[in-house]
């Protein structure tokens, strides 16, 4: 009966438009009531224990810092500072999209925020220069996914807070895979630009070395923010929550002194963070209730025993998990998808011998694939809106297919060489 309640609850949630958090909560409560002897009170305890965890408070702070960055207009300064570096490389300013998204993701923490912040600056500029519009949108959508992998990552924060995995280790684990994915994206841009020169215009601008250095030096405010919110964690000077508070303070100071931040824009950023975090908390609550139901019924151990009885390799289980994420990614946004699946995926995968830190990075990449997958692919929707529908969702999705495949290739690389994600965390001791 469990699977009937589980599939029915998720199916109704996907088809009726019921908020994901409410759908998960009702599904979990139904399972607890009918299958666990009315143990619904345990759900309240589980929710209370997580929502009163000090670590969880870092999430709205990191989100607030990203919103402050967007409101301050520093993304424009960052883009203009890095753009001259790529004028001599095939693909030219398309590389700037990836590089700026990677750096902006180091303070934004979310995919759609990164895509929107960089897209509002890059799309008008690149289309004015004559760049292929779908190619511009695809590169921005792909670059935006880096905001969910490069720390401080919202998905890694939620994963660590709900599964009791060290957030510091997760942040370290996301750095090299994030840079690896940025490198793969830029390699594809290089190859596609060499094969199809019409993707990028051949204007005569050739920035001098001095102009490139001045532009690079102009990005120093971002370096301050990255150190405030990440450097202090990696050096052991602050906890993730303390670092998030430092990041907010630094974003306010830098935004007022060197950006366009005002009291009105600060309030707008605060309101946006409050609304978005409230929706995320609702999904967290639903996920925790469902997780409690799954745990009480002992479902993970049953699944693992079934896998053992079948004699299936743990890598086949990983393939099944990947396929599941690809299918569900068509219907749920990234954060909802992760919180929906980890109650079952986490205990089964770690029980099969996969490292929990490595698993957090892999799941983050898999939900990034969903950000590029219609009909729900949020990055595609956001960027299509920024273009005022000059580029349709279908055109954007078609142009993003190579990046979609590269994300899956990234999962394969991490599976073959898990040390890419685990090397830096292992240095924490």
Q: Please give the average pLDDT of every successive group of 10 residues along the chain, which has 429 residues.
A: 65 66 76 71 71 72 80 74 76 85 77 79 82 88 86 84 86 91 93 84 65 69 76 76 84 84 90 83 77 68 66 84 83 74 83 91 90 76 80 84 93 94 83
How far, in Å, CA of 426 to CA of 404, rounded? 29
What is the pLDDT, as a whole number, of residue 375?
66
Burial label for 235, CB within 10 Å (0-12, 13-18, 19+), is: exposed
How far, in Å, CA of 206 to CA of 204, rounded? 6
How far, in Å, CA of 418 to CA of 410, rounded? 11
The torsion of the CA quartet 260, 264, 269, 275, rounded to 10 degrees, works out to -160
Q: How many CA atoms lie within 13 A of 340 on its CB side?
A: 28
How far, in Å, CA of 332 to CA of 336, rounded? 6
What is the pLDDT, as a whole number, of residue 355?
94
| Structure-token pair, residue 53 | 């965890």
Residue owning tokens 């999705």? 397
What is the pLDDT, as a whole number, of residue 330?
75
How far, in Å, CA of 101 to CA of 141, rounded? 9
Burial label for 198, CB within 10 Å (0-12, 13-18, 19+), is: exposed
CB-based burial, 264-303: b 16+ in 10 Å, e otherwise: ebbeebeebbeebbebbbbbbbbbbbbbbbbbbbebbeeb
Nearest Cα residue to 227 out of 147, 108, 143, 107: 107
How far, in Å, CA of 309 to CA of 302, rounded? 10
| Structure-token pair, residue 402 | 């190579």
How far, in Å, CA of 140 to CA of 351, rounded? 37
Whether the model pTM is above 0.85: no
How far does Cα 258 stand from its chain's mean position? 27
What is the pLDDT, as a whole number, of residue 73?
75
Nearest Cα residue to 154 out of 178, 134, 171: 171
| Structure-token pair, residue 45 | 């305890």
- Asked whether the CA dihedral 71, 72, 78, 80 is positive or negative, the reply is positive
What is the pLDDT, as a whole number, of residue 55?
65
How far, in Å, CA of 12 to CA of 9, rounded? 5
What is the pLDDT, as a whole number, of residue 114?
80
Residue owning tokens 């009726």? 16
Whether the ω angle into residue 287 lies within 30 degrees of 0, i.e. cis, is: no
């Amino acid at each position: 009966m469990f699977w009937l309640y589980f599939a029915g609850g998720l199916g109704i949630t996907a088809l009726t438009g019921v908020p994901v958090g409410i759908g998960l909560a009702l599904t979990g409560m139904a399972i607890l009531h009918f299958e666990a002897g009315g143990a619904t009170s345990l759900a309240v305890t589980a929710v209370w224990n997580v929502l009163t965890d000090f670590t969880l408070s870092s999430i709205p702070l990191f989100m607030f810092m990203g919103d402050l960055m967007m409101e301050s207009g520093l993304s424009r300064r960052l883009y203009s500072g890095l753009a001259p570096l790529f004028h001599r490389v095939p693909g030219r300013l398309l590389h700037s999209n990836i590089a700026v998204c990677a750096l902006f993701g180091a303070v934004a923490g979310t995919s759609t925020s990164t895509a929107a912040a960089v897209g509002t600056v890059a799309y008008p500029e690149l289309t004015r220069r004559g760049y292929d519009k779908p190619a511009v949108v695809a590169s921005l959508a792909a670059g935006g996914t880096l905001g969910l992998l490069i720390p401080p990552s919202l998905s890694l924060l939620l994963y660590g807070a709900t599964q009791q995995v060290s957030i510091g280790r997760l942040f370290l684990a996301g750095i090299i895979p994030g840079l690896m994915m940025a490198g793969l994206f830029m390699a594809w841009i290089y190859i596609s630009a060499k094969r199809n020169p019409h993707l990028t215009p051949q204007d005569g601008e050739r920035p001098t070395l001095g102009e490139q250095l001045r532009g690079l030096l102009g990005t120093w405010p971002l370096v301050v923010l990255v150190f405030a919110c990440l450097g202090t964690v990696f050096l052991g000077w602050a906890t993730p929550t303390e670092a998030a508070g430092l990041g907010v303070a630094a974003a306010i100071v830098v935004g007022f002194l060197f950006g366009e931040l005002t009291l009105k824009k600060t309030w707008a950023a605060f309101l946006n963070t409050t609304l978005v975090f409230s929706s995320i908390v609702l999904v967290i609550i639903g996920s925790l209730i469902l997780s409690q139901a799954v745990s009480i019924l002992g479902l993970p151990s049953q699944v693992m025993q079934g896998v053992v009885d079948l004699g299936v390799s743990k890598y086949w289980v990983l393939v099944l998990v990947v396929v599941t994420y690809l299918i569900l990614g068509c219907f749920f946004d990234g954060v909802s998808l992760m919180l929906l699946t980890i109650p079952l995926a986490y205990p089964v995968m770690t029980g099969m011998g996969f490292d929990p830190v490595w698993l957090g990075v892999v799941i983050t990449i898999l939900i990034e694939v969903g950000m590029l997958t219609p009909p729900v692919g949020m990055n595609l929707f956001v960027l299509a809106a920024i273009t005022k529908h000059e580029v349709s969702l279908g055109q954007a999705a078609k142009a993003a297919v190579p990046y979609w495949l590269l994300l899956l290739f990234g999962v394969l690389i991490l599976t073959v060489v898990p040390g890419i994600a685990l090397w830096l965390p292992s240095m924490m001791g």
